[in-house]
Structure 1
Amino acid sequence: MVAVLCSSNGCKDESSPEVDMSIGTVMDVDPSLFLEGTTVTVVPCTLSNGTETTCYQIVASTPSEHDMGPWCPDNIADGAEAGGIWLENGQVYDVDGDFIANMATFYNDDAWLMYDENGDIYVTDSEEDCINAANPNVGEEYRNYCVECIPDYIEGLERSWLIPTSPVKLTSSSSFAGPGPGGFGGPSVRGIAFNGVEFSGAAPVDNILSAYTLAPFDDAGGHINIHQGYHYHAATGLSAEVPQEDGHAAMIGYAMDGHGIYGQLNEDGKEPEDLDECRGHYDEIRGYHYHVDAPGANNFINCLQGAYIN
């Protein structure tokens, strides 16, 4: 006889060798944590390991708890409040006028000159420019441009994701999809913030820089792509958080397998020492869950330990 475990959130085959039955506390996804402005509904779904269950379908567009932008300053005299941030070698840098003025020194390459004789910075200023400058094969006409796509360009755009209502932890991890067409592995999106915005895969900074362009993130770690909409590449503490009462890092969203995602550091300023290869670990209060990477790492989590939606 096949042993099947069922609850209000669906069923899973206990006999499957892929399911980690040693796990203790399992925390269901709490739909009430998603902010006003997101739509959450329950739909039937089948997970990557064949589990038939239910999923939350989450539909959202832009964050409701913080502003988007700014990204590119206008002049090399502008301060940090006029621009966003850049992630390089694990560090977070303010994209202020001084950063733009000194890019040739920063990258040890005299070809960087992103401003004119008046100090005015070359910034994309139309939807067409935004699309063309974000193209992997960007043309020479956008060389030394600061690429800025603004919220007006994605007005009316909605994104939709599915995550299991109750996570199913597996005995082995799943890689994320590789970049570009035919990328291997599982989903490319790492997770969903409580405002419905995606925690995206790593930004292709090498491609961006090789074209002598810069596509800054705002202070929340997000920027806009016409097709992706607004999305995050770093967790900087500006999106909605759920504080914990025991000194544990605050919760910031859910991974695509339904396990919780928490900040990098606990209240003592330290990262947990027992994180696995996916940046996850277990405790009896939160069950299995993840801690995001440092803001400058251009990364959230490394893989998924649970079943996800194919």
Structure 2
Amino acid sequence: MQKIRLIMTSVLLATVMLSANSCKDENNTTNFNHDTEIGTIVDVDSELFLQGTTVTVVDCTLSDGTNTTCYQIIASTPTDHEMGPWCPDNISDDAEAGGIWIENGEVYDVDGAFIANMANFYSDDTWLMYDENGDVYVTNTETDCINAANPNVGEDYKNYCVECIPDYITELTRTWLIPTTPVKLTSYEYFAGMGPNSSGPLVRGIAFNGVEFSASAPVDNILSAYTLAPFDDAGGHINVHQGYHYHAATGKSAQISQEDGHAPMIGYAIDGHGIFAQLNEDSTEPDDLDACRGHYDDTRGYHYHVDAPGSNNFINCLYGAYIY
């Protein structure tokens, strides 16, 4: 893949406009000269995407009307970590046999003990997800996977642990478009379905392995049907339409460490701005994040930090133009 330049300068602009007297230096960076301020805009680096993804350059128009180029990224399943497991087979199984679940901001191992304790955990005796031998009720066919994942799931799948496996999506690929150079907006945009008059995209971003950072999982719908749809230890699970996708950043997917103690980079938001882990090397979260969970520094330009793994959230909104 073509090596893409990093555009480096010094202070963030509210709106980035290219000056007629911009120029390149010997370090393959572009210095944008403005009347009062100079900002850093970091191009998307296509070489950061891992083997197993296909990246090409296409013409595109962004949500703010900017005519530019975008990377078209085609991917299917991750190549940097295993998928699953999700559901344990028996209530005697340890954490290695299952994935994770999130509740009230916390991450829990879905081991046999968790399954056995669900009635107490949710204060509801309806939960009984195993038989007299301790074997967990798990979806074990593609049909069961599809039916149990239906928002209107019926009684047949009550008290089932929903596990859709990679074999069900061998022919499925996903295609993403992100601008080759991010365009910062003057105000943020909500994701589709979130804020008043929201019209933005559903997808939050893309990991370096081409897997989607997804919208929040419909946890209330899942639990109200007395089903459980765990994520694996990487924060991902599968449905047959969306493929494998993440609902939490747990540090299992590829990440790029930073030399200055900053949190590692884990991918790109759908607007082309970098997405970084929640915590810096010293285990602290940046204290200057904006409403979208983004901030600026001279090295990385404007970029986001994901929310905590138990939050069922990555970033809150977009501060850059995106593809409809």
Same-fold call, TM > 0.5? yes
Whole-angstrom distance in 2 between the partners of 1:265 and 1:303: 19
Q: CA deviation at 1:184?
A: 3.8
Which residue is 2:121 aligned to? 106
Q: Of 153, 157, 160, which residue of structure 2 is paired with 1:145?
A: 160
Q: Distance in 2 between matches of 1:221 and 1:88?
A: 13
AA aligned opposite 1:76: I
> Which of 193, 198, 206 pairs up with 1:192?
206
Instruction: Report the Cα offset of residue 23 of structure 1.
Output: 6.6
- Partner residue in 2 for 1:158: 173
Cα deviation code 1:195-234 (max 9, x no counterpart): 0000000000000000000000000000001000000000
Aligned to 1:295: 309
Q: Which residue of 1 aligns with 2:94?
A: 79
Q: In 2 relative to 1, CA 66–4 (structure 1 residues): closer, same or farther, beyond 3 Å? A: closer
CA distance in 2 between partners of 1:266 and 1:22 (Å): 27
> Which one of the candidate residues 123, 129, 133 is aligned to 2:138?
123
- Within 2, Cα distance between the matches of 1:102 and 1:203? 22
Answering whether residue 250 of structure 2 is matched by residue 236 of structure 1, we say yes
Matched with 2:43 is: 28
Where structure 1 has 5 or more consecutive residues not aligned to the other structure, the ranges are: 9-20
Q: 2:56 and 2:63 mapped to 1: Cα distance?
A: 20
Q: Which amino acid aligns with 2:267?
A: G
* 249, 254, 264: which one aligns with 2:263: 249
Whichever residue aligns with residue 75 of structure 1, its letter is N
Tell me which stretches of 4 or more aligned residues in structure 1 moved more than 6 Å.
none
C-alpha deviations, 1:262-308, integer Å up to 9, x for none? Answer: 00000010000000000000000000000000000000000000000
Q: What is the Cα deviation at residue 79 of structure 1? A: 0.2
Please name the residue that 1:208 is paired with: 222
Whether contact under 8 Å (2:295, 2:302) holds in the other structure is: yes
Q: Any idea what SS the aligned residue of 1:296 has?
A: helix
1:285 aligned to 299, 305, 312, which one? 299
Is 1:178 aligned with 2:169?
A: no
Deviations 1:68-91 (A, max 9, x none): 000000000000000000011000
- Tell whether the 8 Å contact from 2:189 to 2:198 is kept in structure 1 after alignment: no
Q: Does 1:270 align with 2:281?
A: no
- Counterpart of 2:146, as a letter, is I
In structure 2, do the counterparts of structure 1 residues 117 and 23 end up closer, same or farther at CA, with 3 Å as the change threshold?
A: farther
Q: 1:145 to 1:164 in 2, by over 3 A?
A: same
On the 8 A contact 2:236/2:248 being kept in 1, the answer is yes
The count of residues paired between Structure 1 and Structure 2 equals: 294
Q: Whole-Å Cα distance in 1 between the matches of residues 74 and 234 of structure 2?
A: 20
Letter matched to residue 167 of structure 1: P
For residue 103 of structure 1, report the CA deviation from its aligned partner.
0.1
Give 2:52's aligned amino acid. G
Output one character per residue of 1:119-152: Cα deviation in whole Å (capped at 9) or x when no partner.
Answer: 0000000000000000000010000000000000
- SS of residue matched to 2:266: strand
Question: For residues 110 and 23 of structure 1, do their structure 2 counterparts lie closer, same or farther at Cα, with a shift above 3 Å needed?
Answer: farther
| CA shift for structure 1 position 178 | 1.4
**How many Å separate the matches in 2 of 1:22 and 1:175?**
28
Structure 1 residue 50 corresponds to structure 2 residue 65: yes
CA distance in 2 between counterparts of 1:177 and 1:225 reads 20
TM-score relative to the length of structure 2: 0.88
Query: Residues 216-269 of structure 1: CA distance to partner in whole angstroms, max 9, x if unpaired?
Result: 000000000100000000000000000000000000000000000000000010
Query: Which residue identity lines up with residue 217 of structure 2 in the other structure?
Result: A
1:173–1:70 CA distance, 2 compared to 1 (3 A) = same
Aligned alpha-carbon RMSD (Å): 1.7
User: Which residue does the alignment assign to 1:59?
Assistant: 74
CA displacement 1:151-184 (0-9 Å, x = unmatched): 00000210000000000001100100118xxx94
SS of the residue 1:167 aligns to: coil
Q: Normalization by structure 1: what TM-score?
A: 0.92
